[in-house]
Each structure stands twice: as structure tokens, then as C-alpha cells.
Amino acid sequence: MNPEHNFPKRPLAPKALSRFDQWLLKNYPDTWSARTHMVLYYALLFAAAFYAICLVMPDDPRSTSMVGLWVTAGALISGIGLIFWLVYLFRFNVFKRFGTLAPGDRLRNFLVFYLTIFVLTVLVYIPFVTEKQKADATFTDEEVIRDANDVNYCVGLLVKNSFELSIKIDTIILVGSSEEAEQKNAELRARNDGEPRANSTTYAWREQNDYEWRMAEADSVQKIDFNTYVLFTFTKLQHVAPWYSHYNEFSMEPESHSAYDDSRKRLFTTLDLYYLIYRDNPKYSEEEATSRIRKMNAKYRLPMSSWNYVINHNYYGIVEIATDGSNLSEYINRKYDTWSMDHAMKNIMSRKHRFDTENVKSLALFTFYFVLCQVLLLFAFRHSTVKTFFLSILAGIIIAILTGLFLAVTRFHERGILVVLLVYYAVFLAISVTIGMSRVRSLVKGIALNFTFWMTYFIPLIIVGLYYSWMHKLHPYRPDAPEEYDRVFANEDLHYALAQYGGAALLLISIAFLFSRWYRTWYSQPEE
């Protein structure tokens, strides 16, 4: 009679897990039916196996990362796991069996779904972890940067007398709007008969990408007055660098590079190299410099690289350097194989810094929304009829198409889209409120309820977006008063962050006190 003697047969499942499964079944059927405990167990098994495989697979940190393949494999297996879970999930549903529901049950259900899909999603990141571990075990940040500085310095010394160093000087003048920038630039072009000058001037608007890039890419930037900057760009002296982006004190988004900040400060920029090589003009031994480069080359060159073959066998032959240095990079590369070193260093550093704060933030945000969208769909499916759920999806597509057409025809701005979304939400919410008054399970009300549920999280974000959209219209950037602009928008990022937290809180509270009741009332109503 002891029920523990006969557990369902599950591969690799210990008796303790089966015992726990049965305990949940008999005490917490809602949680049991979510099968989160099983997903967690099998996810743990898979994670251990996947981790071990990724760890033992040969992977040279200097080579191009194959993590995409591993992530795809992990995602496919995780997707299969998700499908299995959904199949099991749809077998039992306390809500649709009209079981006894306690207050807060739906909220717990939502959180359990979230946890399950989250676990299945983060499994995919395992290859990133093993890649980082392998790179960390082989190279340190300081080592790579020291080597890059060494290569750039030695190469600079060896070629400094072979060409004439050039310095390009540009001026950027900030104006208040894109229209004004366009107009001023047109005037400039007309004045120069359409030909750019050697030392060019550009009128730029603060929010233009081009402006940001030019500021960031310059080797040196001098601020002349409140809206005028002079940009100095030297012949490229940094031939090997462990990362792609450029950085100087006027970079518009320095925080986005913060992951590299500590080490970046020690990496010689072109300006540093100019000072070290041209200004200080040190004495050096050509033999020693060449030997140091060869040593680095041996350290970072991949043994099987086809490019190495080309270089080592002088496949193309050594080219002569042009006096103006226009083919400097190609010349240096063919002579010293800098591209291989540059490539290897970038590969190493990108592996090592996958989980830096900024990357983790982006990954966390992506994971949060990816999981949230799935849970919103799943929760709605579990609490409405199959027909209503799929008609809700169809209705969503049709509404999106019609709204898009309407906005295109009426030439609505971003604010218009946000206002339309708020109007939709108000309409869906109003329909959902009337569910309790009905004696029949209405398809329209079910669809409206699903939309209300899906949109609730995003409402604070939409409101903040609308607010800042208005504020940008009311307080445009003025080059003569940038502090006013900065003051008004000082807390914009904070407010967007708060809107996300607020959306989550609003959704969870609504599930506990509104959606659980509305879905309960709607689903139990008789059919037409």
C-alpha cells in the first residue's frame, strides 16, 4: 500500500527527486503541475554535462570564437527542453479544473513559470563562461596590453624614418538641430565649390551619430569654445589593439567602454605613441626591436592560420612603403604580421570581458525581456481558451497592421504611437473591468483581457517615454545653453529604469489582485 514503492520511471532521476515530486503532488498541486522542480533538476544535469563538454573541447583563446555554434547547440537543446516542459505543463492545470484557488496562487504560478523559463534560457550562456575561463587561465589583461604596447612601440620605432607623419585637423561646430546643421553644411560646401578642404569644418547636431564617432575616433580633441571642437587625427600608429573601439575624453558614451577602463588607460594610444616615438625620439636597437616583435609574433600567432602561411612564405612579396604613409598598415602587416597579433589579442580580450558589467547589463536586460515575453504568452494561454488565445494573437497582428497604416497615413510622430498604445490599453482595460457583469464567456472580453494582461508591464515605460518625448520637444538642445538640456534630462535613464521596476511591480500586483479574479470569472462563465 506504500505509494513510495512505485515512482514513475524517469531517466537519471534519483528516488529523492521522485519522493519530492510525489510530496509536491499531494501537497502543492499547482506548483507540482508547473514541474519546475523537474526542469531545475534536468537543467542542472544538462548544465553540468554541457559545461564539461565545452570545457574539454579544444579552444585556443587566440582563435576566432566558435561560441556562436555552441550557443546555437545549447539553444536548440534548451528549446527542446522547453517544448518537453510545455507538453508536461499542459497536462495538468488547477485553474482549468476549477480547483480550490488560494489568494496569491496565480502570482506564485507566474513566478514559477518565470523561474523555469529563465533557467532554460540561461543554460545557453554556458559556452561564454567556459570560453572566458579558458582565456583567463591563459592570458591576463595586463599581459595582453603590455604586449600590444610593446609591439606598437617597436613597430613605430622601426618604421618612423620610412615615411612622413601626417596630422589631419578638423573643426566641428555644434548647432541646435539637424536642419540647421544641414543648412550650414550646404553653405560650406557651396563656399568651397563642393570640394572639402584639407582642414575641414563641419556643422553638427549633438544627436548625430556621425558627430559622436568623429569625436571618439580623433586622436586628440581640443575644445575651443562652448560649441566648437578641433579634432587632431594622426597617421595611425596603433597597429595592434586588444579591442575595436576608440576612446578619448570627449567620447560621448565613455560609460559604454567602462569595462576596459582600467586596462585601457595603460594601452598606448596613437597620441601616446607619437609622444613616445616622435617627440621623445629614443635611441633603439633595430635588432632588438625586431626580435621583440618576433617574440610577440610567436606568442600570438595561431599555428594553423592560413594567413600565417601567406606571411611566412612572403606570398605577396614585401611592398615598399609609400612616403606619405598611405599604405603603412599594409606594409607593416606584411613585414611584421601585425594583423595576426591584433586579431589574436582582440579574440582573447573579447573572451575575457564577456561578463563585464556593461555586457552583463545588456545580457540581463535581454534575458529579462526574452523570458518575460514567453511567460506573458504562456500565462495567458494557461488562463484562457485555446481559441481565445490564438485569436488574441491574430487580433494583435491585425491591430498592429491597422495602427501602422493609420500612423503612416496621418504622419504621426513617436508621441502619436505612444498615445495610441495608451488609448488601446484604456479600451482593453475598460472591457476587462466589465467581465464580472457578463453571464456568458465572451470572446471579445477574453481577447481584451489578454491584451490588458500583456500590456500592463509596459504602461509605465510608455508613460515615461511619452513624457520625455514631450520634454524633448519642449526643451531641444541649445548649444549656447547645454546645461539647461542636461538639467532637464539628468534623470531620464533613472526614470526609464524606475519605469521598468514599476512595470514589474504593477504587473505582479495586478496578477495577484486583478488578473487572477478576471481570468477566474471569465473562464468559468458558460459558453454561448
Partner 1 sequence: MSHTALSEIDVFLRHGDHPLAVRRMMDLALDSKQRELMLRAMQLSSRFRIARNANPVNPWNEDLAQESRTLLHELSKATYPAAPGDSLLMQAHGVSKTYSSGAFSMKPTSLDLYAGQILGVVGENGNGKTTLLRCLAGQLAIDSGKISFAGLPDHDFYTLKNRVAFIPQRIPRWYGRLKDNLHFSAAISGVKGEENDLMVGFMLERFGLAGFAELTWNQISSGYRTRFEIARVLLQQPRVLILDEPLANLDIHAQQTLLSDLRFLVKSAVNRMTVLLTSQQLHEVEKAADSVMLIRQGQCIYQTGKTDVRSLGFALELETPATREEIAQALTVLEAQVHFNGGFFTVVSHQHPVQEMIKQLVIAGIPISYCRDISLSTKRLF
Residues at the interface with partner 1 (CB under 8 A): 1, 3, 6, 8, 22, 25-30, 32-33, 91-92, 94, 97-100, 436, 439-441, 520-521, 523-528
Cα separation, 378 vs 106, in Å, equals 13
When the beta carbons of 436 and 476 are compared against partner 1, the nearer one is 436
Q: Which residues pair with 171 in a beta bridge?
A: 201, 230
When the beta carbons of 194 and 526 are compared against partner 1, the nearer one is 526
Burial (Cβ within 10 Å: 0-12, 13-18, ≥19) of residue 414: middle
* Interior/surface letters 278-296, b for 16+ CB within 10 angstroms, e for the rest: eeeeeeeeeeebbebbeeb
**Residues 6 or more apart in contact with residue 324 via CB below 8 angstroms:** 163, 164, 166
When the beta carbons of 7 and 412 are compared against partner 1, the nearer one is 7
When the beta carbons of 91 and 283 are compared against partner 1, the nearer one is 91
- Please tell me what DSSP assigns to residue 3: G
User: Closest distance between partner 1 and the C-beta of residue 435, in Å?
Assistant: 10
Q: Which residues pair with 357 in a beta bridge?
A: none
SS3 220: strand
When the beta carbons of 313 and 439 are compared against partner 1, the nearer one is 439
User: Closest distance between partner 1 and the C-beta of residue 443, in Å?
Assistant: 13
Cα separation, 417 vs 196, in Å, equals 41
166: cell is 601626417
When the beta carbons of 3 and 58 are compared against partner 1, the nearer one is 3
User: Closest distance between partner 1 and the C-beta of residue 391, in Å?
Assistant: 17
User: Closest distance between partner 1 and the C-beta of residue 21, in Å?
Assistant: 9
Residue holding cell 519642449?
A: 474
83: cell is 517544448
Pairing of strands 201-205, 167-175: parallel
Q: SS3 for 273-320, per residue?
A: HHHHHHHCCCCCCHHHHHHHHHHHHHHHCCCCCHHHHHHHCCCCCCCC
User: Closest distance between partner 1 and the C-beta of residue 82, in Å?
Assistant: 18
User: Closest distance between partner 1 and the C-beta of residue 488, in Å?
Assistant: 50
When the beta carbons of 290 and 521 are compared against partner 1, the nearer one is 521
Sheet with 201-205, side-by-side order of all strands: 201-205, 167-175, 228-234, 220-225
Cα separation, 124 vs 117, in Å, equals 12
Please give the radius of gyration of the chain, using alpha carbons only, rounded to the nearest integer. Answer: 31
User: Closest distance between partner 1 and the C-beta of residue 3, in Å?
Assistant: 6
User: Closest distance between partner 1 and the C-beta of residue 515, in Å?
Assistant: 14
User: Closest distance between partner 1 and the C-beta of residue 17, in Å?
Assistant: 15
When the beta carbons of 211 and 453 are compared against partner 1, the nearer one is 453
When the beta carbons of 406 and 513 are compared against partner 1, the nearer one is 513
Cα separation, 306 vs 312, in Å, equals 10
User: Closest distance between partner 1 and the C-beta of residue 105, in Å?
Assistant: 10
Q: What is the DSSP string of 98-167?
A: T----TTHHHHHHHHHHHHHHHHHHGGGHHHHHHHHHHHHH--HHHHHHHHHHHHHHHHHHHTTTS---E
Q: What are the Cα distances from residue 395, in Å, to 160, 387, 401, 416, 480? A: 67, 12, 10, 21, 49
When the beta carbons of 99 and 404 are compared against partner 1, the nearer one is 99
When the beta carbons of 199 and 434 are compared against partner 1, the nearer one is 434
When the beta carbons of 104 and 404 are compared against partner 1, the nearer one is 104
User: Closest distance between partner 1 and the C-beta of residue 521, in Å?
Assistant: 7
Going by C-alpha positions, the residue among 77, 85, 76 that lies closest to residue 39 is 85
When the beta carbons of 139 and 522 are compared against partner 1, the nearer one is 522
User: Closest distance between partner 1 and the C-beta of residue 6, in Å?
Assistant: 6
218: cell is 580623433
End-to-end alpha carbon distance in the chain: 46
Residue holding cell 600590444?
A: 148
User: Closest distance between partner 1 and the C-beta of residue 2, in Å?
Assistant: 9
Cα separation, 40 vs 116, in Å, equals 7
